[in-house]
Structure formats: C-alpha cells, structure tokens
Structure 1
C-alpha cells in the first residue's frame, strides 16, 4: 500500500487581474489570484513542496525593463508573513529540510522561491525545461518565464519527471490515462496537464485523512469557472503554449470532477478554493 501524505495548503502572495480575462463571463473588476504552494509531508522523505509561489527574488528579477512589464501587467503583493520560509517555520521546518520540490511549470509565480531550497531535488517535466531554454528573453517573458529565477545549480538538482516509472491511472481519472510514480512508492503520481505550458504537471495523492487530492496548477484558474465551463478568454490564451491542448485538458478536468464528488481538486490560483481549504489544511 502506498504511503499517505500530510497536506498543507499555503498562500505565498497574490497577483490581481480582471476576472473577465481569466474566464468568459467574468467580472470586469480586478480580482485576487492567490499563488498557492503545497507543503507535503511524507512519512519517510519528510517535508516536500509543490511549487513555491512568489518571493523577494521575483521583485528583484522584475526591476528592469522588459521584465518589469510582468509586474505592471499583473501587480503582485507579498506580505512579510506570507513568505514560504516563514510559513514553513510555523510548521516546524526550515528550507534546508526540503529535499524534494515538485514544480508544476516554470512560470515565475510558481518558481520565484526555487533558489531558496539548496538541498532539494527539483522535479520538472522535460518539455517544460526545454520550452524555457528555447525561449528568447522577450519570448520567454511573453510566455511568463523569468529564466534568471533558476538557481545556478538547477541542472545538478534537476530530475525529469518523464524519467520516473510510468503508471496507469485508474478509470476514475479518465481521460487522463497515465502518470509518473515520482518517489517510486506509489504515494505521489505526477499527471501531465499540457496546454497552459508545454510540460505542465499535476500531482495526485492520498492524504493522511484518506482524501484524494489532485493539484491541477494552472490547468484551470477557478473551480467555479471549471464547473460552469468558462474557459479563459482569447486574451489570456495568448499566454498558452497550445490553446487546443489547454481546452482538451480543461474538458478532461471537468469530466474528472463530475465523476468524483469527493475529489479535492486544487487549482493554483483559485481564491474560493483557498478560502475553503486554508483552515482545513492548517
């Protein structure tokens, strides 16, 4: 039997953007999009992270033009108490305790703190790393990448998710057919969720409370939008690596959510999900 995982949902800053761009039929008003990271506690491997949210490194990386445009288009707020290191401390851990860091994708709002975990093995999909490396400075910025956020030791700590053992997903996860056994013990399954970026990764696991959790990153930005079939608008889709793949993944998540009422599906920027789960996962 695979190990069960302790799960804590953490908000590490937020950005603001008009809701009508993030989903069809949304409000014209700017709304907060929390940058959610997850603290995962494995019975053998200890504390692990899924994404890092924002950090001070983001503000350093976006001081100059053209990177400063990123901050202008999506204004970012990170309160002192929201730093990931501070929140880890509240749970009794330090950055040095983190030995595994699973990255959904390499957009700046998901990896700004990646350099703060010097002992972590970093898991990323191969296509994601290749997409960032192919992009020019301007082209990467247009796609949400800030290459200067990657630490110098990135290549030495990198593990390609695709090199982990491939596993067949249960029928309840259709149309998603396969994933990757990230730790070799069946406890954490990486699920490819392409479209938003070339190699976006979701994470499927069972908690110590016997709940099944599916972290879906930016495959959807709001559970309400997913349930109401309100995909992002054409403007937002200009950020995507492949709009057709995004819509296919989005439709697949709708099927999974409709089929599994008890499934805890967690998008990385859903304010209502954060409000609902923040107290539950403290």
Structure 2
C-alpha cells in the first residue's frame, strides 16, 4: 500500500505558538489544512480517507458550504487542492476511487463526495445512525451539519461492520468497512460529532497510521504536557463538540496511545498545518 498525504482545502491562516520553532525551522503563520489520505491498494483500488473541499464548493462556496462558515473559515478556494484534481495529477481517473472512508460528516470532510459519485462511502455505525435516524436529528446530531449540497447526489453511505465489541489498542467499538480487503478500521473517538471515528490503516511495514479526524486540532494537545491547544483552533473545537467530557477523554486517550506505542502507531489530525508539513516533507 502506498499512502499519499493530501491537503484538500487550505483555510484561514493561524500564527505559530512560541513553542513551535522547535519543530518548524522557519516558524510563520500557516493556513489550516484539510488533511486527507489517498491510499493506493492492491485489492481495493484507491481509497480516500476524508475528502476535504470539493470542486462544487470551490465554484459556489457560499451556496455549498454556507456563507457564515465561508466568512469564518476563509477557504483559499484553490481548485488544485481538491481531491479530484490531485487524484488526476497522480495519473488516475476519478472512477479509480472506489471507496471513501470518513471520520465524520462535517462539511470540511465531505465536500469532495460529489466528485466521486460512484465510490462507496464508509462511516462508523454511530455516525451513520446519526444521519439516517430521524430521532438523531431531534437530538441535534449530524444531519444538520451534513451539507445538502454534499448529499444531493445520493452518496452510497454504508455503515461499517461492528466487530463484536472488538478493540484496537484498548479503544472499544471498532468497526470494519464492508467489502474492503485492506486492513482499515474505524475506531470511535467520541465527543466531536455523534459518531466521530478515527481511521486506522495498516501499512506495509506493519505499523498503523491513525487519522484521528477532529479529535484534536493541534499537535500540542497530544505531544505536550500539559496539553497545549492552539488558541485559534480551540474555539472551533468547542463550537463543534457534542460532548465536552467525551472529547477531552478522547484527547487524553490519544495522548496515551502516542506515548505508549510510538513504534506501532503514528497519529495525525485533520487540520494542523505544522503536523501536515511533517508528513508532506516525508512523502515528498
């Protein structure tokens, strides 16, 4: 399996924190990213983990993403950053993306769905229930955040198969995307959305790459003691969370995962630009 790290949507710029020069040789303000993964697999074609902003979002941002969100997030609206354009630049056709695995259904993660209408879209069962069960909408879960423009084409939403209460490094409730031979898991990371989950990918060397979605937004939250949030991102996290205690608990479990299993798991998040730069540098 080959893994490509893609930024599928630059958002507003945020300043570096004083602690940042230790990991950034040229500390400067950076645009918040939409960190997605493109997996080249032997058995399942291309698998996209999250989709960032799509081409329709970039053509009609206020209609597709919402005027208030656009005013706050300040997306760059660069079509070259869409997953569709990046897939084509790598020499593939859009139809080669056969599967999309989503951490959750917020707009900055689902914008590319209409660009791959034939792909099967895999969700953790809790997130699937939140968007398909009318009772979930009554409790203020994901339906109101799953933008109508991103689901107008009728995406093939598919709940992952719950693995009999299986665990992954002590995280319970693991589910497996249906119909994929590759070793991918959806691991519940509660607190951000109703069924928010990380996506664990077993690489060829046996290590796990773990896309933790929006469970944290700045690497200082899991790398530093005490946790160091970014003041520009913390209000975004707090505004989106469904359960503050669960979200903080998830963050602390990720801290433990990173601390206790550094040789087995590499953790990444969806929006941290300094973290994304590390992976982009490693993969060229």
1:135-162 residue CA offsets vs partner (Å, 9 max, x unmatched): 88xx7899754232113322xx12112x
Of residues 168, 193, 198, the one that matches 2:189 is 193
Alpha carbons of structure 1 residues 30 and 127: separation in structure 2 relative to 1, 3 Å: farther
Unaligned runs of at least 5 residues, structure 1: none
Q: Answer yes or no: is 1:180 the counterpart of 2:175.
A: yes
Aligned residue in 2 for 1:230 = 228
Q: 2:64, 2:182 → 1: CA distance?
A: 45
- C-alpha displacement at 1:191, in angstroms? 0.5
Q: Answer yes or no: is 1:12 the counterpart of 2:8.
A: yes
> In angstroms, what is the RMSD of aligned CA positions?
3.1
> Are the aligned partners of 1:61 and 1:149 in contact in 2 as well (CA < 8 Å)?
no
**Structure with greater strand percent:** 1
- C-alpha displacement at 1:127, in angstroms? 3.0
Aligned residue in 1 for 2:122 = 123
Aligned residue in 2 for 1:72 = 71
Aligned residue in 2 for 1:90 = 89
Alpha carbons of structure 1 residues 147 and 245: separation in structure 2 relative to 1, 3 Å: farther
Q: Answer yes or no: is 1:267 the counterpart of 2:269.
A: yes
1:64-107 residue CA offsets vs partner (Å, 9 max, x unmatched): 59920110111111323222122112322111111111011111
Q: 1:269, 1:66 → 2: CA distance?
A: 17
1:222-276 residue CA offsets vs partner (Å, 9 max, x unmatched): 2223222135646641321111111111111011011022321110111122111
- C-alpha displacement at 1:60, in angstroms? 5.3
Q: Answer yes or no: is 1:242 the counterpart of 2:237.
A: no
Q: 1:79, 1:128 → 2: CA distance?
A: 29
Aligned residue in 1 for 2:45 = 46
> Are the aligned partners of 2:201 and 2:210 in contact in 1 as well (CA < 8 Å)?
yes
Of residues 270, 279, 282, the one that matches 1:280 is 282
Q: What is the TM-score when the length of structure 1 is the normalising length?
A: 0.81
Unaligned runs of at least 5 residues, structure 2: 21-27
Larger RCO (CA within 8 A; separation ≥ 6): 1
How many residues were matched structurally?
265
